[in-house]
Structure 1
Amino acid sequence: MDLALIARVFPAFLQAAWITIQISLIALAIGLTIASLIAAARMSSFAVLRFLGAAYVSVFRGTPALIQIFLLYFGGPQVGINLEPFAAGAIALGMNIAAYMAESIRGAVLAVDRGQMEAARSIGFGSGQAMRWIVLPQAAKLMIRPLGVNSVALVKGTALVATISVVELTYTAQRLIGSTYKPFEIFAVTAVLYMVLVYGLSLLIDRLDRAYAEKG
């Protein structure tokens, strides 16, 4: 283990880790926004919306995230969509994880006892009000853990954007291996940094889970 090499390249890794965090946060925001819309469409009383929601989930869960990144970044210019690598990677990852998050949200909402909605309607709440004030607060407790698992998968999935030259952890590792010829040390540091990011996220998820549990 070449510790001197690790010390020399570590600043580059810290900068790359910051890029990984940024792309993860942006993709997560995109994913949660789209997931909420897809989950609502999947539970809609309109058949067209249910079909569109199901089609989105099927397409994005049924095709590799790497292909989706390539389609957006390399195929986008053919239809007038020109994106920088960072933007293309964040959007593609967000759209991909949205398909999984949508099912987590839908599952949590459906897990709430239907009697809660009926009780709310019986005291004068509209469907939207009952969903907002009665069902969703209860569903939120149930969706923290699955959404957390999706978020962890997203952080690890950011490695895919190295294929379109986003200078995150994996791309930085590949570049440094080419100049140092020390793959063991470089990939070991990369793995440790991913573990630190995932561990930090897992702690946050556990804290949120406990906070909601204490609220009852």
Structure 2
Amino acid sequence: MFDYTFQWRQAIRALPQMLDGALVTMQIAVLSMAIGVTIAVFLAVARNSSSRWLRAPATAWVEVARNTPALFQIYMAHFGLGSFGIYLSPYIALLAGIAFNNAGYLCETFRGALRAIPATQIRAGRSLGMGPAKAFRLIVMPQMFRISFLPTMNQAVWAILMTSLGVTVGMNSDLTGVTQDLNARTFRTFEFFAMAAVIYYLIAKAVMLGARLIAWRMFRY
């Protein structure tokens, strides 16, 4: 017989702690996206390069990032590197694992965007006296980010949700870690994890709503 007694007051009293954890979650997600986007730009250029020496390592990164579990990547950062004497804190290991994953997925997003930009754009920049690097930075990259903006925001939501994996390597300051600690002290599993799920949902919806508003304002032409 179903005789569970809900105690929502405990979860509501713990809400400030959970919101502090949500701020850590957002911090990790934002940093992992910044690192991932930076690396992904270089990987996308390398993947589109005619040089095999550039394509091979970039392809290997993408293949590993996209075809292995994100949890495996975080475990390798936290536990695997320890075999080589490199010890990362749970925070850094989680950040590194998510950034690695982001870079792999965003590389393919950016590579598709690059292929959608006519090669004549570069030639037009060169005819104005720009070097290849300057033409790429001023002409190609803005268009690449415009084309890939919404898919990049989808990856940002995925990065937010991936932070929940940090609890498996001892991360206890993000939203899932805080929720797990509260659950261990009170055994009110449903209440605390339901509250955490609502917070994750609201964060994800806010990110996508903000992205759509930005896209509507900036990319209407």
Structure 2 gap segments, 5+ residues each = 1-5
Given candidates 154, 159, 162, the residue that maps to 1:157 is 162
Instruction: Verify: 1:204 aligned to 2:210, yes or no.
Output: yes
Give runs of aligned pairs for residues 76-91 of structure 1, distance below 5 A. Answer: 76-91=81-96
- Cα distance in 2 for residues equivalent to 1:33 and 1:123: 27
Number of matched residues? 215
Give runs of aligned pairs for residues 2-81 of structure 1, distance below 5 A. Answer: 2-81=7-86
Aligned to 1:195: 201
* Letter matched to residue 57 of structure 1: V
TM score, norm. by length of structure 1: 0.92
Give runs of aligned pairs for residues 94-173 of structure 1, distance below 5 A. Answer: 94-167=99-172, 168-173=174-179
**Larger helix percent:** 1
Checking the alignment, whether the CA contact within 8 Å between 1:144 and 1:208 is kept in structure 2 is: no
How far is the alpha carbon of 1:18 from its aligned partner? Answer: 1.4
How far is the alpha carbon of 1:124 from its aligned partner? Answer: 4.2
* Letter matched to residue 160 of structure 1: L
Q: SS state of the match for residue 18, structure 1?
A: helix
Q: Could you report, residue by residue, the CA deviation over 1:156-206 in whole angstroms, capped at 9, with x for unpaired residues?
A: 111111111212122222222222222221111001110121122112211
How far is the alpha carbon of 1:122 from its aligned partner? Answer: 4.4
- Cα distance in 2 for residues equivalent to 1:133 and 1:29: 19
Task: Name whichever of 114-123 and 44-53 sits farther off.
Answer: 114-123
- Cα distance in 2 for residues equivalent to 1:18 and 1:133: 34
* Letter matched to residue 208 of structure 2: S
- Cα distance in 1 for residues equivalent to 2:133 and 2:161: 36
- Cα distance in 1 for residues equivalent to 2:119 and 2:65: 29
Checking the alignment, whether the CA contact within 8 Å between 1:105 and 1:143 is kept in structure 2 is: yes
- Cα distance in 1 for residues equivalent to 2:151 and 2:20: 30
Q: SS state of the match for residue 50, structure 2?
A: coil
Q: SS state of the match for residue 148, structure 2?
A: helix
Q: SS state of the match for residue 190, structure 1?
A: helix
Structure 1 gap segments, 5+ residues each = none
Q: SS state of the match for residue 166, structure 1?
A: coil
* Letter matched to residue 56 of structure 1: W
Task: Name whichever of 61-70 and 74-83 sits farther off.
Answer: 74-83
Aligned to 2:185: 179
- Cα distance in 2 for residues equivalent to 1:36 and 1:147: 12
